């Protein structure tokens, strides 16, 4: 339950609307609890009229008018209650969902590497909806039932205190039953949500990896695996449903005891002439009004327990402090970067890794320089460039841009000045033009075409039926690997960044297109810093400086000719690729 206290700031935002919502609850109940008094008086009037033989229709019409009128006002106020409190819960759901996405986007890269996507999707859907239920019905029904309960109970005590005490005998049992069942429901709901996370994770992986599933003929295997997870989810749902299903029948049974007590002892008092039939009728009506509050109490406890469990799960994510963020040491006066980069004894170790990924990297990349990074798979090339955009933070040493420690540069300023084409190309399910202009606000059609021309994707796009307005499938599935890479390059170039990073971004492009792209990039990136990672020597040989990484260390550094003459790793890669090219030509 404590987890729901985290929502106080959200509730405070809409406190005025909530105040008027509570007011409508009070007015609605005032008019509702007055109705049984009119019913009781009407019955006593009928009884007296039958005994005296004098019964005026106008009296009955007056009571009927009062009952209908008060019921109408009560009903309208109930409508307004929903239009305030329930609407507020929807608005808080909207705010919470946006804050959730905003927060997870600030989390570091390693968080997403260790957290399944399906788990996050479950939080964004089921958990936030459960919290909204706790805030909507969880506020409206308790306030409504409390008002109904307190007002009806007060009038019942005024009518007959002894009969009221007897009718309330089952209530302690109700409270105890609700408390124990609430604990069970909380635990079972948590188990259900955890299983739902596993289910959504598997479904997401199947949809994202459908090509691999089909290529390896694993459809039946995946269906069987999903069926097992789905069956476990069903069982956990049924266990939760059983716990929930006990609540309502138990409430009805305990309330039924109150009704039996009232009918018996109230009937005796009518026979003895202590109370009138009208009073007993009004009393019975008030007791009937308590049925829903007592049942609602159990139901609301149920949804609040679910909401608390979900908020507890969400709270764990909100409590995750982004390791990479702007801090008190951030220099907010920095608005512009030129692109000079310097590594000073930099080392980096992934969390839980037995040894560093990068060790003692010292390197100066002057502004306007093109640096190429070469090395065997797993040598630390991608980690090297991820440090520059602060997807990771150095664990030892210092990384500076324009002479300033990178941790003092505002994140938004840093990343705005970097154009990054990752090794795993990602395109959105939008048009080609929207993918190219992503991250570059206020771009014109001409600028999009220019960026496409630089990356050599323009020719391909011109052959599409809708050209730049062509909609791409999920992850750009309608494009080939080379087309996706070139579209990503156009997106990076579009920003005219001070630092351009290409992480093996030309691996799916033929050598002729590669040369055309690199030639255009050199003109675009004049006086700007470029960092190119590639396994192809043809891609990097024209770079101003080349470094070779091996086991996280810089083992070779120099120009293409210098490294070839040295006869090390770089030369070995160079000669292997020359031999492969000759063999291809012979074939």
Query: What is the model's pLDDT at position 84?
Result: 86
Could you give the percent of the chain with pLDDT greater than 90? 0
What's the pLDDT at 294? 67
**Range(s) of the domain holding residue 444:** 425-496
Domain assignment of residue 24, yes or no: yes
3-state DSSP assignment of residue 365: strand
Q: Please, which pLDDT band fits residue 180 given cuts at 50, 70 and 90?
A: confident
Q: Determine the pLDDT at residue 175.
A: 64
Q: What is the pLDDT at residue 298?
A: 64
Distance, in Å, from the CA atom of 197 to the CA atom of 7, rounded to the nearest integer, reads: 23
Tokens in use for 426?
A: 């990602």
pLDDT in tens, 44-88: 666 666 666 665 667 677 777 888 888 888 888 888 888 888 888
Domain-embedded: residue 253: yes
- Whether residue 141 sits in one domain with residue 17: yes
What count of residues does the chain have?
587
* Residues 249-291: tens digit of each pLDDT: 777 777 777 777 777 777 777 777 777 777 777 777 777 777 6
Q: How far apart are CA 346 and CA 365, in angstroms?
A: 14
Tell me, yes or no, whether 438 and 296 share the same domain.
no
Is the domain of 307 the same as that of 431? no
- 21, 140 contact by CB (below 8 A): yes
Q: CA dihedral defined by 410, 415, 416, 422, rounded to 10 degrees?
A: 180
Q: H helices then E strands: how many in the chain? A: 23, 10
Q: Do both 303 and 437 map to the same domain? A: no
CA distances from 18 to 27, 89, 307, 324 (A): 14, 10, 19, 38
Boundary-marking domain end, from 292, 318, 344: 318
Q: pLDDT at position 3, please?
A: 66
Given a contact cutoff of 8 angstroms between Cβ atoms, the answer to whether 519 and 456 are in contact is: no
- Same domain, yes or no: 311 and 429: no
**Between 339 and 244, the higher pLDDT residue:** 339
Query: CB of 283 within 8 A of CB of 160?
Result: yes
Nearest to 530 by CA among 391, 421, 392, 436: 421
Q: Is 15 within a domain?
A: yes
Q: Would strands 370-375 and 529-533 be described as parallel, antiparallel, or unpaired? A: parallel
Q: In degrees, to the nearest 5, what angle opens at C-alpha 576 toward C-alphas 571 and 577?
A: 100
- What CATH number does residue 475 fall under? 3.40.50.300
Last residue of a domain, one of 303, 318, 333: 318
Which of these three, 496, 520, 553, is where a domain ends?
496
By 3-state DSSP, what share of the chain in percent is helix, strand and coil, each rounded to 5?
65, 10, 25
Q: Which of 267-281, 415-429, 563-577 has the lowest mean pLDDT?
A: 267-281
List Cβ neighbours of 405 (8 Å cut-off, separation of 6 or more): 398, 399
Dig out the tokens for 317 from the structure.
Answer: 């994510």
Q: How many CA atoms lie within 13 A of 292 on its CB side?
A: 13
Helix (H, G, I), strand (E, B) or coil at 537: helix
For residues 286 and 37, give the distance between their C-alpha atoms in angstroms, rounded to a whole number: 9
Residue 139 has pLDDT above 60, yes or no: yes
Nearest CA among 350, 320, 298 for reference residue 145: 298
What rounded mean pLDDT belongs to the chain?
Answer: 78
The structure tokens 């730049």 sit at 468
The dihedral built from the CA positions of residue 99, 102, 104 and 106, taken in this order, carries a sign that is: negative
Q: Is residue 417 part of a domain?
A: no
In this structure, is residue 239 part of a structural domain?
no
Tokens of 223: 């269906």
Residue 530 lies in a domain: no
Residue 238 is assigned to a structural domain of this protein: no
In the predicted model, is pLDDT for residue 508 greater than 60? yes
Give the CA angle between residues 544, 546, 548 to the nearest 5°.
Answer: 175
Rg of the chain's alpha carbons, rounded to an integer? Answer: 36
What is the total count of domains within the chain?
2
Is the pLDDT at 578 greater than 70, yes or no?
A: yes
Strands (E), 247-311: none
- With 80 as the cut, is the pLDDT of residue 408 above it? yes
Same domain, 27 and 148: yes
In DSSP terms, which residues pair with 364 in a beta bridge? 342
> Is the pLDDT assigned to residue 304 strictly greater than 80?
no
Of 339, 382, 388, 342, residue with least CA distance to 529: 339
pLDDT exceeds cutoff 60 at 13: yes
pTM: 0.66
Same domain, residue pair 157 and 39: yes
Are residues 277 and 150 located together in one domain of the fold? Answer: yes
Of 22-26, 275-279, 430-434, minimum mean pLDDT range: 275-279
Please tell me the distance from the alpha carbon of residue 71 to that of residue 76, in angstroms, as a whole number. 9
Domain of 9, CATH number, reads: 1.20.1560.10
258 occurs within a structural domain: yes
**Best-predicted range by mean pLDDT (314-323, 405-414, 459-468, 519-528):** 405-414
Q: Which residue has the higher pLDDT, 573 or 247?
A: 573
Question: How many other C-beta atoms can be found within 10 angstroms of the C-beta atom of residue 547?
Answer: 24
């Amino acid at each position: 339950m404590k987890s729901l206290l985290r929502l106080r700031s959200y509730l405070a935002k809409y406190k005025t609307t909530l105040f008027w919502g509570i007011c409508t609850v009070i007015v609605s109940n005032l008019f509702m609890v007055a109705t049984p008094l009119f019913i009781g008086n009407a019955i006593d009037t009928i009884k007296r009229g039958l005994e005296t033989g004098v019964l005026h229709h106008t009296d009955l019409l007056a009571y009927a008018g009062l009952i209908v009128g008060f019921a109408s006002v009560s009903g309208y106020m109930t409508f307004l209650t929903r239009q305030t409190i329930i609407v507020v819960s929807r608005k808080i759901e909207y705010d919470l969902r946006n804050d959730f996405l905003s927060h997870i986007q600030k989390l570091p890269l390693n968080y997403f590497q260790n957290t399944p996507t399906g788990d996050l999707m479950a939080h964004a859907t089921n958990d936030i909806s459960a919290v909204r239920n706790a805030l909507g019905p969880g506020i409206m029904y308790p306030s409504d039932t409390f008002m109904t309960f307190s007002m009806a109970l007060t009038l019942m005590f005024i009518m007959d205190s002894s009969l009221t005490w007897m009718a309330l005998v089952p209530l302690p049992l109700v409270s105890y039953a609700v408390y124990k069942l609430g604990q069970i429901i909380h635990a079972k709901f948590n188990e259900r949500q955890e299983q739902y996370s596993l289910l959504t994770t598997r479904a997401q992986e199947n949809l994202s990896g459908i090509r691999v599933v089909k290529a390896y003929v694993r459809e039946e295997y995946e269906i069987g695996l999903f069926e097992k997870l789905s069956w476990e989810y069903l069982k956990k749902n049924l266990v939760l449903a059983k716990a929930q299903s006990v609540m309502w029948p138990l409430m009805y049974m305990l309330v039924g005891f109150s009704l039996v007590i009232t009918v018996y002892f109230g009937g005796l008092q009518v026979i003895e002439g202590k109370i009138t039939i009208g009073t007993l009728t009004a009393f019975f009506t008030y007791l009937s009004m308590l049925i829903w509050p007592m049942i609602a109490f159990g139901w609301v406890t149920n949804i609040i327990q679910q909401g608390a469990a979900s908020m507890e799960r969400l709270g764990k994510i909100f409590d995750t402090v982004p390791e990479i963020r702007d801090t008190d040491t951030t220099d907010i006066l920095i608005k512009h970067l030129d692109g000079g980069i310097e590594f000073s004894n930099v080392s980096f170790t992934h969390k839980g890794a037995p040894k560093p990924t990068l060790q003692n990297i010292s390197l100066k990349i002057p502004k306007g320089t093109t640096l190429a990074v070469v090395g065997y798979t797993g040598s630390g090339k991608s980690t090297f460039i991820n440090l520059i955009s602060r997807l990771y933070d150095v664990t030892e040493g210092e990384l500076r841009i324009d002479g300033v420690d990178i941790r003092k540069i505002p994140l938004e300023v840093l990343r705005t000045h970097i154009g990054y084409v990752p090794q795993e190309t990602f395109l959105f399910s939008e048009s080609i033009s929207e993918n190219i202009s992503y991250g570059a606000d206020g771009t014109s059609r001409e600028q999009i075409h220019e960026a496409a021309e630089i990356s050599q994707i323009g020719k391909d796009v011109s052959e599409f039926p809708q050209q730049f307005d062509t909609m791409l499938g999920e992850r750009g599935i309608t494009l080939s690997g080379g087309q996706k890479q070139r579209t990503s390059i156009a997106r990076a170039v579009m920003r005219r960044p001070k630092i351009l990073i290409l992480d093996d971004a030309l691996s799916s492009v033929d050598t002729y297109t590669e040369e055309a792209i690199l030639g255009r990039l050199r003109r675009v990136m004049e006086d700007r810093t470029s960092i190119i990672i590639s396994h192809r020597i043809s891609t990097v040989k024209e770079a101003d400086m080349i470094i070779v990484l091996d086991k996280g260390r810089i083992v070779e550094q120099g120009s293409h000719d210098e490294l070839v003459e040295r006869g090390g790793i770089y030369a070995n890669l160079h000669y292997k690729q020359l031999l492969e090219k000759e063999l291809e030509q012979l074939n």
